Amino acid sequence: MYIEQLYTGCLAEAAYYIESNGEAAIVDPLRETKPYLGLAEKRNAKIKYVFETHFHADFVSGHIDLAAKSDATIVYGPTAKPGYSAYVAEDGEEFSVGNAKIKVLHTPGHTMESSTFLLIDEEGKDHAVFTGDTLFIGDVGRPDLAVKSDLTKEQLAGYLYDSLHRKIMVLDDDVVVYPGHGAGSQCGKNMSKETVSTIGQQRKLNYALQDMSKEQFVDVVTDGLNAPPAYFPENAKINKQGYENIDDVMQRNLNPLNVEDFEKAVEKGAVILDTRDPDDFEKGSVPGSINIGLGGQFAVWVGTLINIRQNLVLVTAPGKEEESVLRLARVGFEQVKGYLKGGVEAWKEAGKEWQKIKSVDPEISLQMINNGAEVLDVRRNTETETEHVEGAINIPLMELENKLGELDKNKEYVVHCAGGYRSMIASSIMKSNGFKDFANVYGGFDKMKNVEGMSLVAGKCPNQLRQEKLESLKA
């Protein structure tokens, strides 16, 4: 028996390849099919099943295209109603993959169709459980992402409690836990950077699996949930209803544009998305462009900050055109009108207007602050609650564009996040909206907090606050 986790960092998403005796199954594949088809070919195996844990909200799954190319069967758990050919299994139903078996465990709560898949090895022993968004390492799935559900998040959390305790925590301690996501995903609140664990470890370490009543569980799990990104329900609908073949999307969207055609697309309303590294973007960019670099959580931030139906034109680093288009398609962004052929160099050579972003070292940011500049912290609230610069204005990046009116264009700002990726996105948004007197901080708060003389306010980390919440509920 062979298992391989295929982890994609920018989405914090894990897909899985399972193989026994020449037959393979894939769990929760991404939009592109090559990694799975290539692995099966390399190992001389045939993909028999594509298992989907639920209708994903944070990415478009590759299940439909993969099934079509491999002649595999798509399998969902009970209550799923996909708009395409798929097998909806019963709770407890088993599927043979070579000499191993995969058992469906219906685990509603994250969504009502959510299921986990228990892998039983060739000797008949429970070996691993693929938990999707039901159980993460250090966390459980958020119960507010169901598509067109009449249930409240509290009711869904109640289902999640029952699913965890009746279906998953009854498994032996040595059963391996393979989750659908890791740290950085917005499908949970407290995910570990680890992407594999065991039932025994989670029983001890996962805050949501500690001894508590259902009512206490519901309170803790639903506490502190931020609104999901706008693209989440759109992706869930796409995964439920079906989508266009990825090969056709790539062919249509990989459209080279000369400077003139690029400008025409912008005049018609296309948003300029610059996918280069923040350090390259600051040195020069097309005016009005938004920088979301491929080196960070690109797809997540595109989906959070840009309307999924918005037409886009791309500015990329040389050779990164295809990757940019593919990673957009992973989260359902298919309205790409093309990319600037020759990139920023072609724009410069055409004598077009040019813009730069001012960035400063953390030591210089302190001088600016002492001279009256205001600090704009674009980290999440939970990050700033742990520690922040005294007097800082906190507007999380996901809220920035809607709250720019709270800032004064006549004031000077020092803009930072944790490490510099999000603050450059914020800087590009500010620049596009007419802000001129601001500076992005290299290295973000991680570097600023080590500058001698920087005045900081310390608080409590999310784990401390969560533990205090648990203790107060038990009191």
Tell me the pLDDT band of 466, cut-offs 50, 70 and 90.
low
Q: Among 1.10.3720.10, 3.40.250.10, 3.10.580.10, 3.20.20.140, what is the CATH number of 359-463?
A: 3.40.250.10
Q: How confident is the model at residue 469 (pLDDT cuts 50, 70, 90)?
A: low
pLDDT digits (tens, 9 = 90+) for 322-354: 999 999 999 999 999 999 999 999 999 999 999
The maximal CA–CA distance of the chain, rounded, in angstroms, is 71
pLDDT at 463: 60
115-120/100-106 β-pairing: antiparallel
How does pLDDT run across 399-437, given as a tens digit for each residue? 999 999 999 999 999 999 999 999 999 999 999 999 999
Residue 464 is predicted with a pLDDT of 59
Residue 161 tokens, joined? 């409690």
DSSP 86-148: -EEPPTT-EEEETTEEEEEEE-TTSSTT-EEEEEE-TTS-EEEEEEETTB-SS-B--S---TT
Q: Which of the two residues, 151 and 460, has the higher pLDDT score?
A: 151
- CATH for 2-234? 3.60.15.10
- Give residue 3's pLDDT: 98
**Does the fold of domain 244-349 match that of domain 2-234?**
no
Question: Domain map of the chain by residue range?
Answer: 2-234, 244-349, 359-463
The pLDDT tens digits of the residues spanning 157-198 come to 999 999 999 999 999 999 999 999 988 777 666 678 899 999
Under CATH, to which class is 244-349 assigned? alpha beta
Supply the DSSP string of 191-242, one letter for each residue.
--S---EEHHHHHHH-GGGSS--HHHHHHHHHTTPPPPPTHHHHHHHHHHH-
Is the pLDDT confidence value at 381 over 70?
yes
Burial class (CB in 10 A: 0-12, 13-18, 19+), 432: middle
What average pLDDT does range 104-125 have in this prediction?
97
Residue 205 — very low, low, confident or very high, per pLDDT cuts 50/70/90?
A: very high
**Average pLDDT, rounded, for the chain:** 94
> According to the model, what pLDDT value does residue 474 have?
57
Of the candidates 135, 116, 22, which has an alpha carbon nearest to the alpha carbon of residue 75?
116
Query: Which of 357, 358, 365 is closest to 444 using CA atoms?
Result: 365
pLDDT of 183: 83
Instruction: Lowest mean pLDDT of 141-150, 194-203, 210-219, 463-472, name the range.
Output: 463-472
| Position 475 pLDDT exceeds 60 | no
Percent of the residues in the chain that have a pLDDT greater than 70, as a whole number: 95
Of the pLDDT bands very low, low, confident and very high (cuts 50, 70, 90), residue 465 is: low
Mean pLDDT computed over 92-115:
97
Tokens 């028996």 belong to residue:
1
* pLDDT band, very low/low/confident/very high, at 67 (cuts 50, 70, 90): very high
* Residue pointed to by tokens 């191993």: 100
Long-range contacts of 180-183 (CB under 8 A, 24+ apart): 180/13, 180/14, 180/28, 180/53, 180/130, 180/131, 180/132, 180/133, 180/136, 181/12, 181/13, 181/14, 181/58, 181/133, 181/136, 182/7, 182/12, 182/14, 182/136, 182/137, 183/12
What does the pLDDT read at residue 473? 59
CA-only gyration radius of the chain, Å: 24
